[in-house]
């Protein structure tokens, strides 16, 4: 294994697995830290964790354990992958995890670059944009767990780390990889936010980091990494054979992002849909068994969703508590996915990082093979050793007809 990735959630992990696969690496995505060694043919291993919103100490411990496993597989470089909208609180977990990984690897200059221009995430003057909006003006300001209220990545990261926070600005990024590498070498111990507004910037940053043991960011930064190994003759030409599944399908959506709510509204016009509220789940007026029975009775792929408007989400959190509401919804989707898979469903689409993580864990998935791209950042995936294909969609990703298109790719591609 050449490159080891530690993802702080499952959708983000599939996102970067997709990017690396498209760049010609042999990629396997793991659910949690594997107990066995990786197959010798794996060039990039992506360890999917669910550490984005757990206590800092737990996130650090799990991330370090994942890094140690990846190093045991021979990885020359570790990539800590977080969301392209830098999802975190003032307490962490991005800064503390980065510090711990840097200490483990003996690294003192670390790129911090969540930019993903293909999905509309760019960084200019240290500020993160979503499309033409500052991050703090986007829908992420209403995220139920990690509301992003400041677009200045330097300032937000500064709350999370004792390290200095540096910055390489647009004009320097435009000067190319050699110049970026020189600036990094000359800097003091620091986490370095890099501007990036297009894919060439990401390729140049990746090239400049060829000798770094640790780098961090969104999946976009990964487009520049395979060529570093390819130039050394270390990457073999590989293909990822894929075949879909034509059996029963289901869509499970727990994301409250603007993009997902638009996708839910679109799918409701052409397919069966059932909304389940936090109140129904917490108060026990519905159950996973009841919703599974309804889903299996549908002639078309059903959509089960809790993707409510922000004010409805906040009202539920005020009544039941943020953690209780989130935990109940995740547990519900996990139970539902497990029951449906046991009843023969062979295509599962999830929307939302927390929902996707709960589903993957409930299904006891060990590893996933990367298939064709459904949308930017979202690949089709086959569960290793099972007749089950899945798509794990980050809340903000995908076009309005994503669910319909995903069903088709998982079946026919």
Q: How large a percentage of the chain has pLDDT more than 70?
A: 99
Q: What pLDDT, on the 0 to 100 scale, is given for residue 240?
A: 61
Domains of the chain in sequence order: 3-230 (3.40.50.10840), 249-412 (3.40.980.20)
- Residue 251 CB-density burial (10 A; 0-12 exposed, 13-18 middle, 19+ buried): buried
pLDDT in tens, 325-348: 889 999 999 999 999 999 999 999
CA distances from 97 to 59, 73, 318 (A): 7, 21, 30
pLDDT in tens, 214-245: 999 999 999 999 999 999 999 976 556 788 99
CA distances from 231 to 123, 198, 228, 235 (A): 28, 22, 5, 9
pLDDT in tens, 275-307: 999 899 999 999 999 999 999 999 999 999 997
Which residues of the chain are under the pLDDT cut of 70? Answer: 237-240, 413
Angle between the N-to-C axes of helices 322-342 and 288-296, in degrees from 0 to 180, rounded to the nearest 10: 40
Q: For residue 154, what are the contacts with CB-CB under 8 A and spacing of at least 6?
A: 126, 165, 167, 193
Q: What pLDDT, on the 0 to 100 scale, is given for residue 265?
A: 96
Give the residue from 109, 43, 28 showing the smallest Cα distance to 382.
28
Q: What pLDDT, on the 0 to 100 scale, is given for residue 144?
A: 83
Give the whole-angstrom CA distance, residue 125 versus residue 407: 40
Q: What pLDDT, on the 0 to 100 scale, is given for residue 145?
A: 86
Give pTM, 2 decimals: 0.84
Q: What pLDDT, on the 0 to 100 scale, is given for residue 236?
A: 79
Give the whole-angstrom CA distance, residue 147 versus residue 87: 8
**Residue tagged 């390290």 (tokens):** 163
CB of 216 closer than 8 Å to CB of 110: yes
- 3-state SS class at 382: strand
CA 130 to chain centre: 16
CB of 3 closer than 8 Å to CB of 73: no
Give the whole-angstrom CA distance, residue 235 versus residue 175: 28
Q: For residue 76, what are the contacts with CB-CB under 8 A and spacing of at least 6?
A: 2, 3, 213, 229
């Amino acid at each position: 294994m050449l490159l080891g990735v530690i993802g702080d959630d499952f959708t983000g992990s599939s996102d970067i697995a997709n990017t690396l696969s498209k760049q010609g690496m042999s990629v396997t995505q793991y659910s949690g830290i594997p107990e066995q060694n990786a197959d010798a043919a794996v060039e990039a291993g992506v360890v999917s964790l669910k550490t984005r919103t757990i206590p800092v100490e737990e996130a650090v411990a799990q991330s370090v354990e994942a890094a140690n496993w990846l190093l045991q597989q021979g990885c020359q470089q570790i990539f800590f992958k977080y969301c392209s909208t830098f999802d975190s609180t003032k307490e962490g977990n991005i800064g503390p995890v980065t510090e711990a990984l840097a200490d483990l690897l003996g690294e003192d200059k670390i790129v911090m670059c969540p930019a993903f221009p293909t999905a509309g995430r760019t960084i200019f003057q240290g500020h993160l944009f979503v499309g033409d909006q500052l991050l703090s003006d986007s829908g992420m300001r209403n995220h139920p767990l990690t509301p992003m209220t400041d677009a200045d990545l330097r300032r937000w990261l500064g709350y999370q780390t004792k390290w200095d926070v540096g910055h390489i600005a647009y004009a320097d990024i435009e000067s190319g990889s050699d110049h970026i590498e020189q600036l990094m070498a000359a800097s003091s111990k620091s986490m370095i936010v890099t501007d990036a507004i297009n894919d060439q910037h990401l390729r140049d940053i990746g090239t400049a980091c060829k000798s770094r043991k640790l780098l961090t960011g969104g999946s976009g930064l990964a487009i520049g990494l395979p060529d570093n190994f390819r130039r050394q003759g270390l990457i073999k030409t590989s293909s990822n054979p894929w075949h879909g599944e034509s059996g029963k399908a289901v869509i499970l959506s727990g994301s409250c992002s603007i993009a997902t709510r638009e996708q839910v509204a679109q799918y409701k016009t052409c397919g069966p849909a059932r909304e389940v509220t936090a109140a129904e789940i917490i108060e026990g007026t519905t159950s996973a068994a009841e919703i599974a029975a309804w889903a299996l009775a549908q002639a078309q792929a059903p959509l089960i969703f809790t993707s409510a408007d922000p004010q409805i989400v906040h009202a539920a959190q005020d009544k039941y508590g943020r953690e209780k509401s989130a935990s109940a919804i995740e547990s519900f989707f996990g139970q539902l996915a497990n029951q449906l898979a046991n009843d023969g469903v062979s295509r599962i689409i999830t929307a939302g990082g927390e929902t996707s993580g709960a589903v993957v864990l409930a299904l006891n998935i060990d590893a996933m093979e990367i298939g064709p791209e459904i949308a930017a950042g979202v690949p089709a995936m086959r569960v290793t050793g099972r007749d089950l294909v899945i798509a794990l969609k980050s809340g903000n990703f995908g076009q309005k007809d994503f669910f319909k298109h995903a069903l088709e790719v998982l079946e026919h591609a």
